[in-house]
A and B are shown apart, each in its own frame.
Chain A
Amino acid sequence: MIEANGLVKDYKAVRALDDVGLRVGRGEIFGFFGPNGAGKTTCIRVLCGLTQPNGGEAKVLDIDVVRHPVWVRDNIAVLSEETRFYEEMTPRRYLNMFAKFNLMKRDERLKAINKVADLADLRSFIDQRIAFLSQGQRQRVSLARVLLSDAPLLFLDEPFEGVDIIHRRKLRQHFRNYVNQGNTIFFTSHNLIEAEHIVDRFAFIHHGKLIACGTASELKDKYLMPAYMLHVSDPQRARQVLDRELRLQGIKIVEGQVAVTLQRRADAPEVSKVLFREGIDLFEMKSMGTMEEVFERTARGEVG
């Protein structure tokens, strides 16, 4: 769905993108993360045809973005944090306008607007003027605008902002169903913890460079030590058994649970096998590393 090679974008003396390459396939939710000013927004703008790169090439849906930016935007939908509104409009009229941009017929528009109003939880204010809406409500209107599209590729920047817990779950489910049909979501967020629940593959950008890319387990394998927290029936005996049977980097008991660091992440299945063999019950085995830690380490230039 997306292929980018050697993208370079300069703003005067600042290099916002430095030789960025990406490949995003169909049916995945691709997470794109980085701190403020890392080049995240610039990269999205280039991929959406909103600005031209100074070098490199990018194809979206097999269309050259540099040469055919409008054609690309004809086939994607973009949710941006830059969104502003026509304040005089109501959300219903606003969505109707964008449905018309999508060349939807009247019946389709009505159906689609009703559907996205439910998804983005707009029902209670869909006929109020946007000028009177809160920031969270506005963000949901913006999200609804994107969901209205039947594009095979969505660029979503902070799609969950302003959305309550119940609707987040509905939205996550919607996004999963959406990609399961062969579509793709290019997802950015500041919340890596939440992103772990939904993103299939992660890419990290820092100072305009792509510093890491892969699935959560790949990145954790690569950048984090294989440390786990074990909730077991007999922590003391579990520590002895594991220390004896496996090659460990370290093991200790913390607040009644066993904290173990393996030599390799591939040894993880051996932990449960050993405990089972020794008759110790394993209630829960939890990886201690998060994607936030992965990002921190990659940003510092460390490798696991």
Chain B
Amino acid sequence: MTPPEPPPELPPEPLPEPEPAPEPEAVPEPPPEPMADEELPPPPGDMAERTKSFPPVKTKRSGAMATLRRAVTIFEKDMRTMAKHGLVSAVILLIFLGVVFTIMSFAMSQAMKFDIGEMEGDGEGPGTLPGSTDHVPPVADAGNDRAVSASTSVTLDASGSTDNEGLFYFVWNFDESGREMQLYGESVTHVFYATGHYEVNLVVVDTSWNFDEDNMTIDVNALPGDTESPMANAGNDTGASVGTTFTFNGSGSTDNVDVVNWTWMFRDFGDRIDRVLFGERPSYRFDNTGTIWVQLVARDAAGNTGQAGIRIDVYTDSGDTQSPEARADMPHQINVGERVQLDASESFDNQGISDYIWFVKQNNTMRTFNGQTAEFVADRIGMYEVLLVVRDAAGNVGTSDGGVIVYPADVDVDMIAWDSTPFGTDVSFNLLTYAYGIALLSSVIFIGGLFAKGFTHEISKGTIKVLFFGPISVTTMIFSKILYPIVIGPIFIFPLTLFSLAMFNQSPGDILMITLVAYLLCVVTMLSAAYGSCIIYAAAKRMVIKPSIVSRMFLYFSLLLTLTVFEWSTFVMDSWLETDSWGNMYDSYHGIATISPFHQGGIFLSGQILGTMQSPDYFLLIIPAALIILGILASKKLYSDIFSRE
């Protein structure tokens, strides 16, 4: 058989006119060109006829709103996955990190807490003045042990202390009737009203911040003869309305001979200023609300003493019970002879502040100023303690304290880190950084982990391809990922910041500001993570790459980097906002900032930005590094557990 002649080629049928696109101006298309290739096959013979009877094809072009709606749909899908698995992981991570941070907090605060009264060691403290070459510690001399009678004035003299350069700072620490006393100055006087054995500790600091300490004892004794102590009776606990004059009554005190002296000791102005009254029935006008713990020392003629205490609740009759917030602004370190400007203008109260009282203490001298602003001349080197008391019309008080370190004239104070003190770094301000750190670390690892695992999962399993079969673009993907930090960030950030701030009685404005700043930082951080992920998305869409160890490491690295930048930024923000002026709120938490994982990095960064000379302790960088690695490992394990089920 021979093959038959093939039928002649049919001429190509003209294609139907294509319908114009709905938005021709957006995408100008050239008119369809005639088919150049005559070999191209035409539709079947009747196709052109049929085409004429069809209604026009309606093509659509989705705009930005459609992209957003699709992004929301993808986001919704991811949220469901997160709600199912991710939140559990997040809680686990949060607990994990919380425990780690707390342990570190405790350990570090113990290791780095330099309280004056507890200072030990060879005298070369960590607070050696930056740039100083003097490392020779002074020699403290508190004088000999003493024995005195009750209610006699005792002079504590440290003039026997020596140093090669000169002494800068003296502080006497002892415990009296259950109160920790600190007296500043080379020579101070104090009256011991109660008999007993007092152990007095003296710390001296030289101009290069080397220090030494010495101890002495003071025995306050009664006279020989009558050895029986009186039975002090201060009356019963009671209350007093603010502004009223209260009369104490020690008449219930008894003695085998007779009580000849009644000494009433308490602290007013928010439990900050010592007050001492004498007599069986002294009177005192309480102008400040609060709980007053009064100690009565009853003494007989032989000097025997007995003690009793009462509690007086000073209350206000007005409805306003909210204490004002005291904010004291002052220079932290100056040269001798300069004027110190005190400013309380940032203090606030719900009803307005009626009184501003400044107590400035240097050595044994206390000065008082009134007014929102005040100033004095720092005419002596050493520490000026400043206490600000603000009071509203109802008698509620708020306090804030600070210190001004006065250096010799030849010290360049600008070269000293703003948070340096003779006793180490002032680390009390940074609780917020701590809170941010936990919130951010957990949320970034949570979301980053989901990104990392979720992305690679989508790519390796091919599910991502399905999305691209539809009208999903890389832009849509990016939109969907941008929604993460914007929506999820607050879930982690807001509660922690609100809690940590509200706990310390911050003003609503501050709460709002810091929460927003934290939120913005959070968004920036996570956007960065989203960006890294989108690069992988784009690559996956083109099917150019498959997830590799390199792409995963890229993602983890970007997370680490952004987290570090975040934490350092927070540190600088804290510095910038001078949140250290809130230090009094964090007294019981001092030392906590040192465990903030990037504190040392922050020191480094602030050194670079603010021009300080303080060097970070690079050894401590191991801690954040270890935490990050642990966090990544934890998240990786968790997410692999989650997705291995698919």
Which residues of A pack against B, CB within 8 Å? 1, 3, 5-6, 21-28, 48, 50-51, 59, 61-64, 67-68, 70-71, 73-75, 77-78, 80, 82-89, 97-98, 100-103, 131, 152, 181-182, 200-201, 203, 213-215, 218, 221-222, 225-226, 249-250, 261-266, 303-304
Whether B37 lies near A5 (C-beta < 8 A) is yes
Whether B44 lies near A200 (C-beta < 8 A) is yes
Which residues from chain A contact B54 at a C-beta distance below 8 Å? 26-27, 181-182
Whether B4 lies near A263 (C-beta < 8 A) is yes
Which residues from chain A contact B80 at a C-beta distance below 8 Å? 88
A222's contact among B7, B35, B59, by CB below 8 Å, is which?
B7
B15's contact among A6, A25, A70, A182, by CB below 8 Å, is which?
A25
Whether B47 lies near A25 (C-beta < 8 A) is yes
Q: Give A106 to B465 CA distance when docked, in angstroms.
A: 25
Which residues from chain B contact A84 at a C-beta distance below 8 Å? 461-463, 465-466
A25's contact among B2, B32, B48, B84, by CB below 8 Å, is which?
B48
Whether A74 lies near B61 (C-beta < 8 A) is yes
11 A–B contacts, CB within 8 A, in A order: A5-B36, A23-B41, A27-B47, A28-B43, A62-B29, A77-B470, A84-B465, A98-B470, A263-B4, A304-B3, A304-B6
Q: Give A303 to B16 CA distance when docked, in angstroms.
A: 31
Tell me the dominant secondary structure on chain B's binding face: loop
Q: Known pairs A50-B468, A70-B473; list 4 more (Cβ under 8 Å).
A: A73-B468, A102-B471, A103-B66, A182-B55
Which residues of B pack against A, CB within 8 Å? 1-7, 12-13, 15-16, 18-21, 27, 29, 32, 35-37, 39-44, 47-48, 50-51, 54-55, 57-62, 66, 69-70, 73, 77, 80-81, 84, 461-463, 465-466, 468-473, 542-543, 646
Which residues from chain A contact B2 at a C-beta distance below 8 Å? 249
Residue in chain A with minimal CB distance to B54:
A182
Residue in chain B with minimal CB distance to A24:
B43
If A27-B50, A48-B469, A182-B55 touch, whether A201 touches B32 (CB-CB below 8 Å) is no
Whether B81 lies near A88 (C-beta < 8 A) is yes
Whether B32 lies near A62 (C-beta < 8 A) is yes
Whether B58 lies near A152 (C-beta < 8 A) is yes
Min CB distance A42 to B, Å, is: 11
Whether B6 lies near A221 (C-beta < 8 A) is yes
Min CB distance B347 to A, Å, is: 54
Q: Give A226 to B2 CA distance when docked, in angstroms.
A: 11
Min CB distance B498 to A, Å, is: 33
Residue in chain A with minimal CB distance to B3:
A304
Which residues from chain A contact B37 at a C-beta distance below 8 Å? 5-6, 21
If A21-B40, A75-B60, A250-B1 touch, whether A100 touches B18 (CB-CB below 8 Å) is no
Whether A264 lies near B5 (C-beta < 8 A) is yes
Which residues from chain A contact B40 at a C-beta distance below 8 Å? 5, 21-23, 213
Q: Give A262 to B54 CA distance when docked, in angstroms.
A: 39
Residue in chain B with minimal CB distance to A146:
B469
Whether A225 lies near B3 (C-beta < 8 A) is yes
Q: Give A5 to B6 CA distance when docked, in angstroms.
A: 26
Residue in chain B with minimal CB distance to A26:
B51
Which residues from chain A contact B41 at a C-beta distance below 8 Å? 23, 201, 203, 213-214
Whether B15 lies near A101 (C-beta < 8 A) is no
Whether B21 lies near A62 (C-beta < 8 A) is yes
Which residues from chain B contact A303 at a C-beta distance below 8 Å? 3, 6
B27's contact among A48, A67, A215, A250, by CB below 8 Å, is which?
A67
B73's contact among A3, A23, A50, A97, by CB below 8 Å, is which?
A97
Whether A73 lies near B470 (C-beta < 8 A) is yes
Whether A23 lies near B62 (C-beta < 8 A) is no
Min CB distance A148 to B, Å, is: 10
A50's contact among B7, B461, B469, by CB below 8 Å, is which?
B469
Whether B35 lies near A27 (C-beta < 8 A) is no
Which residues from chain B contact A97 at a C-beta distance below 8 Å? 73, 77
Min CB distance A216 to B, Å, is: 10
Q: Give A84 to B461 CA distance when docked, in angstroms.
A: 7
Q: Give A250 to B463 CA distance when docked, in angstroms.
A: 56
Which residues from chain B contact A82 at a C-beta distance below 8 Å? 462, 465
Min CB distance A5 to B, Å, is: 7
B471's contact among A70, A221, A261, by CB below 8 Å, is which?
A70
Which residues from chain B contact A50 at a C-beta distance below 8 Å? 468-469
Whether B646 lies near A61 (C-beta < 8 A) is no
Q: Give A218 to B45 CA distance when docked, in angstroms.
A: 11
Q: Give A225 to B473 CA distance when docked, in angstroms.
A: 49
The 10 closest A-B pairs by CB, nearest first: A182-B54, A62-B18, A213-B41, A25-B43, A84-B462, A74-B471, A249-B1, A78-B469, A100-B73, A87-B646
Whether A73 lies near B469 (C-beta < 8 A) is yes
Which residues from chain B contact A263 at a C-beta distance below 8 Å? 4
Whether B57 lies near A26 (C-beta < 8 A) is yes
Residue in chain A with minimal CB distance to B33:
A5
Q: Give A102 to B66 CA distance when docked, in angstroms.
A: 9
Whether B466 lies near A83 (C-beta < 8 A) is yes
Tell me which of A48, A73, A262 has the highest count of chain B C-beta atoms within 10 A of its own C-beta: A73
Residue in chain A with minimal CB distance to B57:
A152
Whether A25 lies near B16 (C-beta < 8 A) is yes
Which residues from chain B contact A214 at a C-beta distance below 8 Å? 41
Whether A221 lies near B7 (C-beta < 8 A) is yes
If A25-B43, A249-B2, A304-B6 touch, whether A75 touches B81 (CB-CB below 8 Å) is no
Residue in chain B with minimal CB distance to A96:
B73
Which residues from chain B contact A83 at a C-beta distance below 8 Å? 465-466, 469
Tell me which of B19, B43, B473 has the highest count of chain A C-beta atoms within 10 A of its own C-beta: B43
Residue in chain A with minimal CB distance to B39:
A21
If A84-B466, A103-B62, A182-B54 touch, whether A215 touches B44 (CB-CB below 8 Å) is yes
Q: Give A222 to B41 CA distance when docked, in angstroms.
A: 13
Whether B47 lies near A261 (C-beta < 8 A) is no
Which residues from chain A contact B16 at a C-beta distance below 8 Å? 25-26
Q: Give A77 to B19 CA distance when docked, in angstroms.
A: 19
Whether B21 lies near A63 (C-beta < 8 A) is yes
Q: Give A263 to B4 CA distance when docked, in angstroms.
A: 6
Min CB distance A101 to B, Å, is: 5
Whether A86 lies near B77 (C-beta < 8 A) is yes
Q: Give A100 to B72 CA distance when docked, in angstroms.
A: 10
Tell me which of A86, A89, A218 has the highest count of chain B C-beta atoms within 10 A of its own C-beta: A86
Whether A23 lies near B15 (C-beta < 8 A) is yes
Q: Give A87 to B59 CA distance when docked, in angstroms.
A: 32
B1's contact among A78, A221, A225, by CB below 8 Å, is which?
A225
Whether A80 lies near B469 (C-beta < 8 A) is yes
Q: Give A5 to B35 CA distance when docked, in angstroms.
A: 8
Tell me which of B58, B70, B73, B470 has the highest count of chain A C-beta atoms within 10 A of its own C-beta: B470
Whether A86 lies near B1 (C-beta < 8 A) is no
Min CB distance A268 to B, Å, is: 12
Whether A74 lies near B77 (C-beta < 8 A) is no
Q: Give A50 to B66 CA distance when docked, in angstroms.
A: 20
Which residues from chain A contact B44 at a C-beta distance below 8 Å? 28, 200-201, 215
Whether A71 lies near B6 (C-beta < 8 A) is no
Whether A131 lies near B646 (C-beta < 8 A) is yes
Residue in chain B with minimal CB distance to A52:
B542
Q: Give A101 to B70 CA distance when docked, in angstroms.
A: 5
If A26-B16, A82-B465 touch, whether A3 touches B32 (CB-CB below 8 Å) is yes
Min CB distance A137 to B, Å, is: 16
Whether A63 lies near B6 (C-beta < 8 A) is no
If A68-B27, A152-B58 touch, whether A73 touches B466 (CB-CB below 8 Å) is no
Min CB distance A33 to B, Å, is: 14
Q: Give A226 to B6 CA distance when docked, in angstroms.
A: 11
Which residues from chain A contact B39 at a C-beta distance below 8 Å? 21
Residue in chain B with minimal CB distance to A62:
B18
Q: Give A6 to B54 CA distance when docked, in angstroms.
A: 29
Which residues from chain B contact A80 at a C-beta distance below 8 Å? 465, 469
Q: Give A163 to B2 CA distance when docked, in angstroms.
A: 43
Which residues from chain B contact A87 at a C-beta distance below 8 Å? 646
Residue in chain B with minimal CB distance to A50:
B468
